[in-house]
Structure 1
Amino acid sequence: MAQSLEQALADFSPGLPFAVAFSGGADSTALLLACALRWPGQVRAVHIHHGLQAAADGFEAHCRALCAQLGVPLAVRRVQAGHAPGQSPEDAARLARYRALAEAVQSEWPDVGDVALAQHADDQVETLLLALSRGAGLPGLASMPSRAERLGLRWHRPLLGVPGRDLRAWLQMRGQAWVDDPTNTDEQFTRNRIRARLLPALAEALPAFRETFARSAAHAAQAQEVLDEVAQQDLTVVGVPPDIRALQQLSSARQALVLRHWLRRHHQTTPSTAQLNELIRQIRACTTRGHRLHLKVGSGHVTRQGGRLHWQ
């Protein structure tokens, strides 16, 4: 069964004080209000002003008014994220938003180490369906983790078991207004098409899909944790940077696993399946000292220097 907002917060144990990422939409409004009621005086809020639409100033004004009403300190950061070639505008905006959230929390409230995000059960389903549509592996199918550490902070998603409609009903019961982002209904974005077209069909055909999809994502996340442990053990053996001969002693599947782990952990880049397959093929062919290797991988290139792989 889906969680209620109250049940979700009962299972949520952030370090105090903590911050809430507050857009002004229904989801983050419900999270902020519920947290402020449960932990009075211990909640901070950060609003990211993207400047991408005329309504953005109104979003900020709404957030300022509600935080003043609740007695919640608010920090506002303005972000205009350009995207690199081959990067989607949505990904660029998301990365810029996380950096701005982290900067705001760490500069405004040095005693805050935890940030709560308002993604809910429908967001998790959309993320899983997007991953499936892209042919993602286990990391993608694991969808959004309920907890993660990055940029020097602990990030929490306490509402992943709560349907979005329940959050809006909870706000309506309290007479609490929120702002609606008009881009959320723009079906040129794949996520919005999933929300508008697929979720209603799934609800009709598979009424429990939110819970069962979330369970599948959790199974994928658990399996990925095991694979990460194996990859780290293999990386300890092949070294950093990886030794080619040591890599050749592993199966192709373990080569793929350890190479992804090396690139993600040490260079913050992710290879495509085609790039990784070609890299493994080249590693297999490295049987002479004169074999050269220079491949586009992720956002850079993997080269051979002596008996080891390097990324630049």
Structure 2
Amino acid sequence: MTVAVDQALQAWMPALPLAVAYSGGADSTALLHACVRRWPGQVYAIHVHHGLQAAADGFAAHCRQACDQWQVPLVVAAVDARHQPGQSPEDAARRHRYAALAVQAHTAFDRPMASVALAQHADDQVETLLLALSRGAGVAGLAAMPAQWQRDGLHWHRPLLGVSAADIRQCLLDQGIAWIDDPTNTDLRYTRNRIRQQLLPVLEQVFPQFRDTFARSSAHAAQAKQLQQELAQLDLQAIGVPPRIQALQQLSPVRQANVLRHWLLQHHQATPTAAQLQELLRQIGACQTRGHRIHIKVGYGFAVRNGANLGWYNP
């Protein structure tokens, strides 16, 4: 099964040098080792030390040992991954992880990185889609994880999204490469773990090709998401930043919702719940007098009326 990982990398041509987010788990171990073989001297490793569990120091030590063996430059970045009130621990850890990866990719090595590779695989993509479905997500959530994007002056890649977790582990076993298992991955208190351990085996029995078919559905959703974003950009240019309330009112309710989600995310990194967005739309529709006040919870802050415009602030 070594072929599965190597084939996934054959058509992948990231800008070099390349940093691999290396946790020490099976997925990132397979990705890092394959990248080192393909681009010797051009691959670096970043291990994010979250400090959230007692085993974290052992993870970092394992990564140092493996990188010494493979002669891969490694940096261990310690982050404070504690979550804020109202924020999920998983979301907080993810945000801290991505921020640390971006900083280290730019500054930690003898030259800045051009690309960062992440090791999420086909099973992770299915889990993300199922989580989105369970939460009633729109097309942005159903699009699941993109294979590549640009942010913070870096090219980000997920080259293993077409490879199953089983194939990745078999690849490592075939080569005699060790990895570490995060004990939290078996904790059934986390919904993602319950999906992985209880739901995916059933899907395998009932729909053996579910990884491929689910991936196609996510690809269709990703196209719809792109169309929504392009329309939102056009509408935001028309209504202005910050949005003019009267101009917002000229749009249909679905376009109002679309452009408001886009504005909040792009300019304030805020994502409203469905209920918050619905209430905001109601308030905008009712805003017909000079004295009408808007002040409602949206995301982790508040949407407010500032004269003729709609504003947002984080107290």
Amino acid corresponding to residue 79 of structure 2 in structure 1: V
CA deviation after TM superposition for structure 1 residue 66, in Å: 1.1
Q: Which residue in 2 is equivalent to 1:33? A: 33
Confirm or deny that 1:189 pairs with 2:190.
yes
Q: Which residue in 1 is equivalent to 2:73? A: 73
On the 8 A contact 1:27/1:118 being kept in 2, the answer is: yes
Q: Which residue in 2 is equivalent to 1:44? A: 44
- Secondary structure of the equivalent of 2:36? helix
Q: Which residue in 2 is equivalent to 1:310? A: 311
Task: Could you tell me which runs of 5 or more consecutive residues in structure 2 were left unpaired when the two chains were aligned.
Answer: none
CA deviation after TM superposition for structure 1 residue 80, in Å: 2.8
Q: Return the alpha-carbon distance in structure 2 between the equivalents of residues 302 and 111 of structure 1.
A: 38
On the 8 A contact 2:51/2:81 being kept in 1, the answer is: no
On the 8 A contact 1:148/1:156 being kept in 2, the answer is: yes
Q: Return the alpha-carbon distance in structure 2 between the equivalents of residues 179 and 83 of structure 1.
A: 25
Q: Return the alpha-carbon distance in structure 2 between the equivalents of residues 212 and 236 of structure 1.
A: 37
Q: Which residue in 1 is equivalent to 2:255? A: 254
- Secondary structure of the equivalent of 2:12? coil
Q: Return the alpha-carbon distance in structure 2 between the equivalents of residues 303 and 167 of structure 1.
A: 49
Confirm or deny that 1:221 pairs with 2:222.
yes
Confirm or deny that 1:95 pairs with 2:95.
yes
- Secondary structure of the equivalent of 1:4? helix
CA deviation after TM superposition for structure 1 residue 111, in Å: 2.6
- Secondary structure of the equivalent of 2:159? coil
Structure 1 runs (4+) greater than 3 angstroms displaced: none
Q: Return the alpha-carbon distance in structure 1 between the equivalents of residues 112 and 46 of structure 2.
A: 15
On the 8 A contact 2:46/2:104 being kept in 1, the answer is: yes
Deviates more, 1:167-176 or 1:80-89: 80-89
Q: Return the alpha-carbon distance in structure 1 between the equivalents of residues 226 and 176 of structure 2.
A: 42
- Secondary structure of the equivalent of 1:47? strand
Q: Return the alpha-carbon distance in structure 2 between the equivalents of residues 195 and 105 of structure 1.
A: 31
CA deviation after TM superposition for structure 1 residue 86, in Å: 1.3
Amino acid corresponding to residue 294 of structure 1 in structure 2: H
Deviates more, 1:17-26 or 1:104-113: 104-113
Amino acid corresponding to residue 39 of structure 2 in structure 1: W
Task: Could you tell me which runs of 5 or more consecutive residues in structure 1 were left unpaired when the two chains were aligned.
Answer: none
**Number of equivalent positions:** 310
> What is the percent sequence identity of the aligned residues?
64
| Residues 142-179 of structure 1 deviation map (CA, whole Å, 9 limit, x = unaligned) | 11100122233221000000001001001100111111
Q: Return the alpha-carbon distance in structure 2 between the equivalents of residues 268 and 163 of structure 1.
A: 32
Q: Return the alpha-carbon distance in structure 1 between the equivalents of residues 301 and 54 of structure 2.
A: 37
CA deviation after TM superposition for structure 1 residue 52, in Å: 2.1
Confirm or deny that 1:60 pairs with 2:63.
no
- Secondary structure of the equivalent of 1:126? helix
Q: Which residue in 2 is equivalent to 1:119? A: 120
Amino acid corresponding to residue 51 of structure 1 in structure 2: G
CA deviation after TM superposition for structure 1 residue 4, in Å: 2.0
CA deviation after TM superposition for structure 1 residue 97, in Å: 1.0
CA deviation after TM superposition for structure 1 residue 274, in Å: 0.6
Pairing 1:205-216 to 2, within 5 Å after superposition: 205-216=206-217
Q: Return the alpha-carbon distance in structure 2 between the equivalents of residues 260 and 22 of structure 1.
A: 33
On the 8 A contact 1:116/1:158 being kept in 2, the answer is: yes
Q: Which residue in 2 is equivalent to 1:239? A: 240
Pairing 1:274-289 to 2, within 5 Å after superposition: 274-289=275-290
Deviates more, 1:110-119 or 1:156-165: 110-119
Deviates more, 1:228-237 or 1:95-104: 95-104
| Residues 91-112 of structure 1 deviation map (CA, whole Å, 9 limit, x = unaligned) | 1111111111112111113431
CA deviation after TM superposition for structure 1 residue 53, in Å: 2.1
- Secondary structure of the equivalent of 1:64? helix
Amino acid corresponding to residue 262 of structure 1 in structure 2: W
Q: TM-score, normalised by structure 2?
A: 0.96
Amino acid corresponding to residue 185 of structure 1 in structure 2: T
Q: TM-score, normalised by structure 1?
A: 0.97
Q: Return the alpha-carbon distance in structure 1 between the equivalents of residues 177 and 257 of structure 2.
A: 50
